[in-house]
Structure 1
Amino acid sequence: MYHPQRDRWSDHFCLTGAEFTPLSLVGRVTVRLLQLNRGDRIEDANY
């Protein structure tokens, strides 16, 4: 899982519109566990 004090954000994620695109295993795990791309969260970001 991503750790903001140990990891560089740009090594693990990029933004595609309002969605997080994981770039590494750490990114994939973080996006999945925190449900960062869940539909209702993305809809809220596009208001």
Structure 2
Amino acid sequence: MHHHVAFLQRGLGDDEKLMALSIFAFYVGLDPDSPIAAAIRTEAGS
């Protein structure tokens, strides 16, 4: 699995990586109040 994720990441720009992280977080049920979700939101705002 790591190989496939690394392959995907090489083909994405920074904005696309951020969008992918947001989508993955949604699908895995990341708590919106978690520090990781906050970091994603902070990065998206910059």
TM-score (norm 1): 0.27
TM normalised by structure 2 equals: 0.27
Q: Which has the higher helix share?
A: 2
Q: As a proportion of its length, which structure holds more strand?
A: 1
